[in-house]
Amino acid sequence: MPTKGQRKHAKVEDKAVTLFREYLRIKTVHPEPDYDGAIAFLEKMAKDIGLPSKVVEVHEGRKILIMTLVGKEPGLPTILLNSHTDVVPVYPKEWKVEPFSADKMPNGDIYARGTQDMKCVGIQYLEAIRKLKAKGLSFKRTIHLTFVPDEEIGGILGMKLFIKHEEFKKLNIGFALDEGLANPTDAFTVFYGERSPWWVMVRCRGNPGHGSRFIENTAAEKLRKVINSFLDYRGMEEKKLKSTGCLTLGDVTTVNLTLLEGGVQFNVVPNELSVGFDIRITPTQNLKEFEKKIKTWCKEAGTDVTYTFAQKNMDQTLTSTEDSDQWWKAFHKACSDMGMKLEKEIFPAATDSRFLREAGYPAIGFSPMNNTPILLHDHNEFLNEDVFMKGIDIYCGIIPAMANA
């Protein structure tokens, strides 16, 4: 038990941290995310801050929560602060704490699924707005905050549908902020584009037979050639990344074998085997030329080798980071004024920003987490409370800059 002197000097937890931890405890984890619980919690926060809110159902069970801070010139294109409420599954045995307990260590590290990806940003937006309103500040442009579902499973029933909805069109978006990644150094990473996600399933058909014989033209022989072609290309891209010091992960194309299907029992040579690849294609790669590679690899493997796409994103739109661009200029100046070092990159995975950019809305991916290991989707995901609180102050600088651009 702490002594009286120790209790006296114990750090009092900021209300923003307490709310963050409450949000983390809401199990918005797939496959059955508690979206209603998250919306109820966030609506309560909006009411407490004084932000009008509404809920839009874009698909059965898939709701978007919209909060709005009206600007002095509401006819101008608005600022969107977007975050997703869902999180990926966990392997509890691999965690040092219960993954949805939001336990805080003595050094301030808060452990829970979603600390980095991306419940931190949602609460930071709200707490920054709370601070700015408390100072009596108002802005030229209207600010919208959106909390969307299903980003972690592709956003098909979330942001992708929302952008086509009449309620989205009414928002009159001019510029959007969405999630980024932590940075282990003193710098902050800013993402102005994303790699195109392609999920490819290759099916190889061949002669079946008894497992004791040398069957010719089997599905397995063709599958081996397919796998070798895809993974040889993977090796080339990995070598390019490691041998060129100026490239980041987003500048190369990654290929990973993620699915293997087929077979009925040990002594039967199957007539069909399938392999799935998760491919993330850098914006500098010609997509039509890359699909030609896939066709060639399949053709070289033999007859009856076909491929289909589970996902095929063809948009390679980038958000401008030129000094002449009004949005980038406002964002960059706000960060510079706070003494922040920025590192511009292509996002290596995929976020809801891709739907925004594809629809013509400039978007930047940014999560104010420096001096922090990248732990999204990893075991023991955590964020330090001091880093979290600093992020609120950072948004207090960025949001007014964007809303007055």
Mean pLDDT computed over 295-302: 98
- Which residue in this structure is represented by tokens 């599958």? 223
Any catalytic annotation for residue 178?
Answer: no
* pLDDT over 80 (residue 359): yes
* pLDDT over 70 (residue 351): yes
In the structure encoding, which two tokens stand for residue 91, read together? 């392997």
Predicted local distance difference test score (pLDDT) of residue 245: 81
Mean pLDDT computed over 330-339: 98
Note the pLDDT tens digit of each residue in 197-242. Answer: 999 999 999 999 999 999 999 999 999 999 999 999 999 999 999 9
Percent of the chain with pLDDT over 70: 98
* Confidence at 331, pLDDT banded by 50, 70, 90: very high
Domain coordinates in residue numbering, the chain: 11-180+351-403, 196-312
* pLDDT over 80 (residue 2): no
**Beta-sheet pairing, 363-366 with 342-347:** unpaired
d(CA 184, CA 117): 15
Architecture of the domain defined by 11-180+351-403: 3-Layer(aba) Sandwich (3.40)
Predicted local distance difference test score (pLDDT) of residue 344: 97
Predicted local distance difference test score (pLDDT) of residue 41: 98
In the structure encoding, which two tokens stand for residue 155, read together? 């956003």
Any catalytic annotation for residue 151?
Answer: yes
**Cβ atoms within 10 A of the Cβ of 36, count?**
13
Mean pLDDT computed over 342-353: 95
pTM above 0.95, yes or no: no
Predicted local distance difference test score (pLDDT) of residue 9: 45
* pLDDT over 70 (residue 374): yes
* Confidence at 74, pLDDT banded by 50, 70, 90: very high
* pLDDT over 90 (residue 244): no
Mean pLDDT computed over 172-190: 98
Mean pLDDT computed over 346-374: 96
Mean pLDDT computed over 98-105: 98
CATH topology of domain 196-312: Alpha-Beta Plaits (3.30.70)
Predicted local distance difference test score (pLDDT) of residue 163: 98
In the structure encoding, which two tokens stand for residue 19, read together? 């709310």
d(CA 99, CA 113): 6
d(CA 366, CA 368): 6
* Helix/strand/coil percentages in the chain, nearest 5: 35, 25, 40
* pLDDT over 50 (residue 157): yes
Which of 86, 150, 251, 345 is an active site residue? 86
Mean pLDDT computed over 115-120: 98
* Confidence at 1, pLDDT banded by 50, 70, 90: very low
Which of 150, 151, 194, 385 is an active site residue? 151
* Confidence at 10, pLDDT banded by 50, 70, 90: low
Mean pLDDT, the chain, rounded, equals: 96
